[in-house]
Amino acid sequence: MTDITSLRFEDPWLLLLLVIVGVGLLLNLWRSRRPGTGLLFPSLGLVPSARAGWRVRARWVLIVLRVAALVAFIVALARPQIVRASVESVAEGIDIVLVLDTSGSMSERGFAGSSKIDAVKRVVNDFLGGLRNDRVGIVIFSGEAIVLGPPTLDYAASQRLVAPIDTGTLAGGTAIGTGLATGINVLRDSEAKSKVVILLTDGENNSGDITPLDAANMAKLLSVRVYTIGAVTLASTPDKDVSADSVDAQLMRKIAEDTGGHYYSVSDENSLAEVYREIESLEKSHVGARDFIDYQEAHLGFLALGIAILFAELALGATVFRRTP
C-alpha cells in the first residue's frame, strides 16, 4: 500500500487575484517613499531632534498583516483540497490450477532430446519456485483425471507432488474434457479475484465422458479463465518443420477464447517456460491495482486564518499603531 498526500485547487484560476495583491503592495511601497505633507516652522531649532518611536518604525507590520489576510482569502476562494491517495498493488487474489497431460505420448522425446513429460516437470518446478502470492493446484490426466493437490501457497509441497509424475500411471487415452472439468471443479469454491486453469496436452480428446466444450462451458459459468498449451514435436520436411503430433489446435483455441484465455503452441522447453511466465503476468494485469482517492476541503481553514489575521491587523491599527491626525 502506497499513501500519497498532496494539495490541489478546485478553482486554481482564482489564484490570479494574487497578482492584484502584489501590484497593490508595490503601489503602497512607492507611495510610502514619496515626500509627505508637513508643517511650516520658522526655524528647525523649534523642533525637538528625536528619532521616530518604535511604533512608527514598526507600522510596516500592518501592511504585512493586510497582505497575508488577502492572500489567505484568495487561497480560500480557490478551494484548496487535501488529496489523500492510496494505491494498493494487489499481489494475492489469483488461484491457478495446472492441468497436465500424462498420456503415453508425453513420454516421447521431442523437446530437445528430452521427453516431453520430463521437460514439463522441469518447467513447472521452476514456475512454482518463482511464485510468491498465487495459490496453485495440480491435476493430472490421461484416460481419467486425479487431483494431486488443491490450490496452496506451499510451493515446496507442490514441487514434491510434481517430481514423481510419469506417464502410464492412469488409464490409457487422452480425456481432455475430463481433465479440464476436474481442474475447474477444484476452483468451484474459490473466492479469488482471478481463477485460472492452465491446460497442457500433446494430443486430442479421445476418451472420457465429458467433452472439452462442455468443460469450457463449466469454466464460463464459474468465471474461470482457461489457457491451453499444445506441446508439439516438430518434424523436419524438405520445405519446413511441421508438427508431428495430433494436437487439436482449433479446439484448444476455441476453449481458450470462449473463456477469455489464450492458446499457445510450444515445441521446446524454453518456449514453454516463457508461456507460463506470460500467463502469470497476464493474470496480474487482470487483477491490477486498486486506487483510493479522498478529497478533503481545506478552504475553511484558510478563510478562518484570513479573518484572524485581518482582525489582528485592525486591532493593532486601532490600538498600538493608532495614528493621530
For residue 234, is pLDDT > 60? yes
Strands (E) in 161-316, as ranges, are 194-201, 224-231, 234-236, 241-243, 263-266, 289-297
- d(Cα 155, Cα 176) in Å, to the nearest integer? 25
Beta strand 145-152 pairing with 80-89: unpaired
Confidence (pLDDT) at 160 = 95
Mean pLDDT of 61-76: 86
Q: Are residues 79 and 150 in the same domain?
A: no
CA distance between the termini of the chain:
64
Q: Are residues 240 and 308 in the same domain?
A: no
- d(Cα 213, Cα 207) in Å, to the nearest integer? 14
Residue 37 lies in a domain: no
Residue 116 lies in a domain: yes
Residue 167 lies in a domain: yes
- Domain CATH for 188: 3.40.50.410
Q: Are residues 308 and 262 in the same domain?
A: no
Mean pLDDT of 146-172: 92
- Asked whether the beta carbons of 95 and 134 are under 8 A apart, the reply is yes
Confidence (pLDDT) at 240 = 44
Label residue 41 by pLDDT band (50, 70, 90). Answer: low
**What are 195's strand-pairing partners?**
95, 224
Residue 43 lies in a domain: no
Residue 325 lies in a domain: no
Q: Are residues 308 and 238 in the same domain?
A: no
- d(Cα 313, Cα 62) in Å, to the nearest integer? 6
- Asked whether the beta carbons of 36 and 301 are under 8 A apart, the reply is no
Grid cell, residue 256, equals 481458450
> Which single residue is written with the C-alpha cell 502506497?
2
What mean pLDDT is reported for the chain?
82
Q: Are residues 256 and 300 in the same domain?
A: no
Q: Are residues 154 and 24 in the same domain?
A: no
Q: Are residues 223 and 305 in the same domain?
A: no
Confidence (pLDDT) at 213 = 96
Residue 180 lies in a domain: yes
Confidence (pLDDT) at 216 = 96
For residue 110, is pLDDT > 80? no
Q: Are residues 123 and 201 in the same domain?
A: yes
Phi, psi (5° rounding) for residue 208? 95, 155
- d(Cα 240, Cα 233) in Å, to the nearest integer? 13
* Residue 15 burial (CB count, 10 A): 15
Mean pLDDT of 216-226: 95
**Which range is most confident: 104-113, 278-287, 297-306?**
297-306
Residue 171 lies in a domain: yes
Please tell me whether the overall predicted TM-score, pTM, comes out greater than 0.85 for this model: no
- d(Cα 136, Cα 157) in Å, to the nearest integer? 11
- d(Cα 136, Cα 248) in Å, to the nearest integer? 26
For residue 77, is pLDDT > 70? yes
- d(Cα 25, Cα 87) in Å, to the nearest integer? 44
282 vs 181: which has the higher pLDDT? 181
What's the full length of the chain, in residues?
Answer: 325
Mean pLDDT of 11-37: 78
Q: Are residues 107 and 82 in the same domain?
A: no
Q: Are residues 149 and 267 in the same domain?
A: yes
**Per-residue pLDDT reduced to its tens digit, 287-303:** 554 555 677 888 888 88
Residue 229 lies in a domain: yes
Label residue 242 by pLDDT band (50, 70, 90). Answer: very low
Total structural domains within the chain: 2
Q: Which domain holds residue 211?
A: 91-287
Q: Are residues 161 and 268 in the same domain?
A: yes
* Residue 134 burial (CB count, 10 A): 22
DSSP state of 234: E
Candidates 189, 245, 254; CA nearest to 215 is: 254
Q: Are residues 241 and 111 in the same domain?
A: yes
